[in-house]
Amino acid sequence: MFRIGHGYDVHRLTPGREFILCGVSIPHSTGLDGHSDADVAVHALMDAILGALALGDIGMWFPPTDPKFKAADSMKLLAEILKDKRCADYKMGNCDITIIAQQPKLSPFIQEMRKNISKVLKCKLSQVSVKATTTEGLGFCGQQQGIAANAVVILEKKTG
């Protein structure tokens, strides 16, 4: 049995914050604003996994009003979701993450992002796609006000 999920997230860019995507700290003059580390790509991935299994969204699992998630490492939150029995019954078919950002250039960091995600998902690197695109200067991403991410996953029920 297969389950497909889609996730989307967006965070505002702000000075004085670390810029983290897929667990990689990227040098930049701004970072992503949020209650946790604001790793927009991992947040989209978590929502895709939760959506595939009809388990709500990350706001339900890790409320932004809860102080224990202040500055939380999103990679650890992803690992927490995967420990849940309802998630543990499935294995990753593949995931595909698209990060929408005008700046910084993300291509030098993509392989490390893929490795980080595959490690947490306990799957092969070939099952994890991370890519980046710009909006040609259009919209909030293009005007460097924020960064967005989409993620799609296919999960397969584990057998015996």
**1 vs 52: CA distance, rounded Å:** 12
Q: Residue 74 sits in which domain range?
A: 2-157
Say what the pTM is.
Answer: 0.96
| pLDDT for the residue 69 | 87
Q: What amino acid occupies position 16?
A: G
**What tens digit of pLDDT does each residue of 82-136 get?**
999 999 899 999 999 999 999 999 999 999 999 999 999 999 999 999 999 999 9
Which CATH number is 92's domain given? 3.30.1330.50
- Hey, CA dihedral for 83, 78, 47, 111, is it positive or negative? negative
Number of domains in the chain: 1
